[in-house]
Amino acid sequence: MNKLSSIYTEKNNCQDCYKCVKNCPVKAIKLEDNSASVIPELCIYCGKCTQVCPANAKKVRDDLPVVRQALKKEKIIVSLAPSYISEYENIETNKIIAAFKEAGFYGVSETALGAEKVALETKNWIDRQENGVYISSCCPSAVLLINKYYPEHSSAVAPILSPMVAHAKFLKKIYPEAKVLFVGPCIAKKEEVNQFGEYIDYVLSFKDIKALFEDIGIFFEFMKPAEEDVFIPIRANKGNLYPIDGGMLTCMIDSINSDIDRINHNSNKKESIRYMTFSGVKNLKEIMRDFDSMKNSGKTFIEVMTCDGGCIKGPLAISNKSSASKRLNVLDKVSVEPRNEEMLSKLNELNISTKYDFIKKIEKEEYTLNQIYEALKMVNKKSEADELNCGGCGYDNCREFAKALIAGKAENDMCISYMRKIAQDKTNILLKKMPSGIVIVNDKLKVVDANKNFADILGDEVKMIFEANPGLYGADVTKLIPYHNLFSQVLETGVDIIEQDIRDGEHYFTLSVFSVQNHNLVCGIIKNLHAPEVRKDLVLNRTKEVIMENMKVVQQIAFLLGENASYTESMLNSILESHSNDKDELTNTK
* DSSP for residue 176: T
Q: Applying CB under 6 A, which part among 38-46, 211-219, 248-256, 285-293 lies near ligand SF4?
A: 38-46
Q: Applying CB under 6 A, which part among 139-147, 351-359, 425-433, 554-562 lies near ligand SF4?
A: 139-147
Q: How far is the CB of 312 from ligand SF4 (least distance, A)?
A: 8
Q: Is 24 in the site for ligand SF4 (CB under 6 A)?
A: yes
Q: How far is the CB of 65 from ligand SF4 (least distance, A)?
A: 22
Q: Is 146 in the site for ligand SF4 (CB under 6 A)?
A: no
8 A C-beta contact, residue 122 and residue 273: no
- Find the binder of ligand SF4 among 166, 186, 287, 372 (CB under 6 A): 186
**Residue 21 or 273: which CB sits closer to ligand SF4?**
21
Q: Is 278 in the site for ligand SF4 (CB under 6 A)?
A: no
Neighbouring-strand partners of residue 9: 58
Q: Is 139 in the site for ligand SF4 (CB under 6 A)?
A: yes
Q: Is 185 in the site for ligand SF4 (CB under 6 A)?
A: yes
> 100: Cβ–Cβ under 8 A, 6 or more apart, which residues?
78, 80, 107, 108
Q: Segment 506-565, which members bind ligand SF4 (CB under 6 A)?
A: none
Q: How far is the CB of 411 from ligand SF4 (least distance, A)?
A: 17
Q: Is 47 in the site for ligand SF4 (CB under 6 A)?
A: yes
8 A C-beta contact, residue 318 and residue 206: yes
8 A C-beta contact, residue 7 and residue 25: no
Report which secondary-structure segment, H or E, holds 353: none
Q: Segment 379-398, which members bind ligand SF4 (CB under 6 A)?
A: none
Q: What is the DSSP string of 497-566?
A: EEEEEEEETTEEEEEEEEEEETTTEEEEEEEETTSHHHHHHHHHHHHHHHHHHHHHHHHHHHHHHTHHHH
Taking residue 566's Cβ as centre, other Cβ atoms within 10 Å add up to: 12
8 A C-beta contact, residue 80 and residue 189: no
**Residue 264 or 306: which CB sits closer to ligand SF4?**
306
Q: Is 137 in the site for ligand SF4 (CB under 6 A)?
A: no
**Residue 93 or 137: which CB sits closer to ligand SF4?**
137
Taking residue 447's Cβ as centre, other Cβ atoms within 10 Å add up to: 20
Q: How far is the CB of 113 from ligand SF4 (least distance, A)?
A: 16
Q: How far is the CB of 118 from ligand SF4 (least distance, A)?
A: 12
Number of residues that bind ligand SF4 (CB under 6 A): 25
- Find the binder of ligand SF4 among 19, 22, 48, 190 (CB under 6 A): 48
- Find the binder of ligand SF4 among 43, 96, 160, 457 (CB under 6 A): 43
Calpha distance 537→579 (Å, rounded): 9
> 225: Cβ–Cβ under 8 A, 6 or more apart, which residues?
92, 94, 95, 97, 98
Q: Segment 296-315, which members bind ligand SF4 (CB under 6 A)?
A: 305-307, 310-311, 314
Q: What is the DSSP string of 308-345?
A: TTSGGG-TT-S----HHHHHHHHHHH-------HHHHH
Closest CA to 210 of 106, 103, 332: 103
> 37: Cβ–Cβ under 8 A, 6 or more apart, which residues?
8, 9, 11, 29, 30
Calpha distance 94→441 (Å, rounded): 67
Q: Applying CB under 6 A, which part among 182-190, 361-369, 406-414, 490-498 lies near ligand SF4?
A: 182-190
Q: How far is the CB of 20 from ligand SF4 (least distance, A)?
A: 6
- Please, what is the end-to-end C-alpha distance for the chain in angstroms? 72
Q: Is 223 in the site for ligand SF4 (CB under 6 A)?
A: no
Closest CA to 21 of 12, 30, 13, 32: 30
Q: Segment 461-480, which members bind ligand SF4 (CB under 6 A)?
A: none
Q: Is 200 in the site for ligand SF4 (CB under 6 A)?
A: no
Neighbouring-strand partners of residue 132: 299
Q: Which alpha helices (DSSP H) does 28-102 contain, by range? A: 48-52, 64-73, 84-87, 93-102
Q: How far is the CB of 9 from ligand SF4 (least distance, A)?
A: 9
Q: Segment 309-368, which members bind ligand SF4 (CB under 6 A)?
A: 310-311, 314
- Find the binder of ligand SF4 among 37, 137, 141, 205 (CB under 6 A): 141
Q: Is 53 in the site for ligand SF4 (CB under 6 A)?
A: no
Report which secondary-structure segment, H or E, holds 184: strand 179-184
Q: Segment 235-264, which members bind ligand SF4 (CB under 6 A)?
A: none
**Residue 37 or 453: which CB sits closer to ligand SF4?**
37
Q: Is 106 in the site for ligand SF4 (CB under 6 A)?
A: no
**Residue 408 or 494: which CB sits closer to ligand SF4?**
408
Q: How far is the CB of 394 from ligand SF4 (least distance, A)?
A: 11
Q: Is 49 in the site for ligand SF4 (CB under 6 A)?
A: yes
Q: How far is the CB of 466 from ligand SF4 (least distance, A)?
A: 50
Calpha distance 512→486 (Å, rounded): 9
Site residues, ligand SF4 (CB under 6 A): 7, 24, 26, 28-29, 38, 43-49, 139-141, 185-186, 188, 305-307, 310-311, 314
